[in-house]
Amino acid sequence: MTVGVLRALAVGLLALSSPVWAAKKVDLDYHVRLLPQSDQAEVRLTLAQGSAVRSLDFDLGDGSHYSDFKADGQWQLTPGKQARGVWHPTADKASLTYRVHISHGRKSGSFDTRMTPTWALMRGDDLVPAARLDQQDGIELVSRLEFELPSGWKSVETAWPRIGKNKFRIDNVSRLFDRPTGWMLAGQLGSRRTRLGETEVTVASPRGQGMRRMDVLTLLTFVWPQVQEVFPRHPSKLLIVGANDPMWRGSLAARESIYLNSRLPLVSESGTSALVRELAQAFGRINDSQRSDWISEGFAEYYAIELVRRAGGMSDERYESLQSKLAKDSQKVTTVRGEQINPAQVAKAVVLLQELDREIRLKTRNKRSLDDVLRGAMRLESVDTKEFVQLAQSVIGESSKVLDSGLLQ
């Protein structure tokens, strides 16, 4: 090879590694001004360079929560049961501003999200709705979220990395459109923090809401070694928020965050833990499809029991008593399939997973377990019942008698 050819190759390689080929970074800033007097937030999206984005096509649900749209560029609103809003920004710096209602009520009179004169418990998924992003090639949006708090409100908590007093960096590697998802809490708050393994854990609630913050941290510290053993991925930050009635008396995981009504016991009379169940949901992030809701719900409930048991928080007698209760509660269930399954179907799914775990351990001489099936499901973008059966059989190394069941039809 001649010197000239070598030099040409070297120049070519240098060009390929040059920053010229790196994606061009364009700032996307979210500014959220909380307005308790009208139970709203004013949200402003600002693109430092509008020409980087051809369009943002928002899913506005039934459209009832969003209003007062103002845009630099073209804004097209399509109302209806599945309302959409499409934004074509102007070429230079461009903003889209709108208002969103915070409090979402239930028929029972409780609230999923709520704003009061002194605090707001909300979801980022509502502040900035899901959208299809059509952007220019070679562009990377760098997203940040900043809150403007009412007078007297002291702080705001999200599950995103904090880069300023009320400012956060939004970076989701699994999505093209970085938006601020997960539970969020602002106002006059009380909080407790600790580091568990690789994860910064914050437990926060509005003052006077009866949230047992230290109890939550203690239970998490107790089960954390088992959580690390089972789940291969751990978030850098986990936020747990809570409030009292009239907030919905339940628990729900969202991105790297958990909502827990402060009246809920951390461990119920039956021996299961709502907190540990939502922890399993938040860490597992299993997306099921094709009427296979039993997979994610069953796994979450299974590990709510199993993680506490493995940590030494459940005696053999109590474990057997809990198994008997699950079997009794689910004895009339004929199928675990469905888009949204009921508590009896969840109980039956847990019984099925417990039997599958025993089968795997027996057939592999204790070398494998249901944990291996969970980790396999976590690696898939989504999983349905047929894929779950194939996954379990690949772990066992042969067909599964437990999963050859009418319950999965």
What CATH number should be reported for the domain holding residue 160? Answer: 2.60.40.3650
In angstroms, the first-to-last Cα distance of the chain is 65
Residue 83's CB: how many other CB atoms inside 10 A?
Answer: 18
The conformation of residue 379, written as its DSSP 8-state character, comes to: H
pLDDT (average), residues 35-42: 98
Question: Buried b / exposed e across 4-38, counting CB within 10 Å, b at 16+?
Answer: eeeeeeeeeeeeeeeeeeeeeebebbbbbbbebee
In contact, 51 and 138? CB cutoff 8 Å: no
Same domain, 169 and 101: yes
Same domain, 290 and 247: no
Residue 286 has pLDDT above 80, yes or no: yes
Same domain, 54 and 161: yes
| Assigned domain for 276 exists | no
pLDDT digits (tens, 9 = 90+) for 268-283: 887 889 999 999 999 9
The rounded distance, in Å, linking the Cα atoms of 104 and 107 is 10
Helix (H) or strand (E) holding 170: strand 167-170
pLDDT (average), residues 292-319: 94
Same domain, 56 and 104: yes
Same domain, 384 and 292: yes
| Assigned domain for 14 exists | no
CA geometry: angle 224, 225, 231, nearest 5 deg: 80
| Assigned domain for 373 exists | yes
Domain boundary among the residues 178, 204, 236 is at 178
Question: Which pLDDT score, from 0 to 100, does residue 296 have?
Answer: 94
Same domain, 37 and 139: yes
pLDDT digits (tens, 9 = 90+) for 100-121: 999 999 988 999 999 999 999 9
Domain boundary among the residues 118, 147, 178 is at 178
Supply 394's token pair: 């690949």
What is the DSSP code string of 319-375?
A: HHHHHHHHHHHTTT-----BSS--HHHHHHHHHHHHHHHHHHHHHTTTS--HHHHHH
- 4 pLDDT band (50/70/90 cuts)? low
Alpha carbon separation from 257 to 37, 167, 306 (Å, rounded): 27, 17, 21
In contact, 119 and 188? CB cutoff 8 Å: yes
Same domain, 50 and 168: yes
pLDDT (average), residues 300-323: 94
Read off the amino acid at residue 261: N
Residue 11 has pLDDT above 70, yes or no: no
Return the residue matching tokens 């006077």: 208
Same domain, 171 and 70: yes
Residue 18 has pLDDT above 50, yes or no: no
pTM of the entire predicted model: 0.90
**CATH code of the domain in which 398 resides:** 1.10.390
| Assigned domain for 278 exists | no
Question: Which pLDDT score, from 0 to 100, does residue 271 have?
Answer: 80
Domain boundary among the residues 126, 158, 178 is at 178
Same domain, 161 and 204: no
Q: Lowest mean pLDDT: which of 105-119, 149-163, 169-183?
A: 169-183
Same domain, 304 and 360: yes
Range of the structural domain that residue 30 is part of: 24-178
Q: Three-state DSSP class for 233? A: coil
Supply 376's token pair: 């396999």
Question: Which pLDDT score, from 0 to 100, does residue 19 have?
Answer: 47
Total of domains in the chain: 3
Same domain, 122 and 28: yes
Entry field: residues in the chain: 409
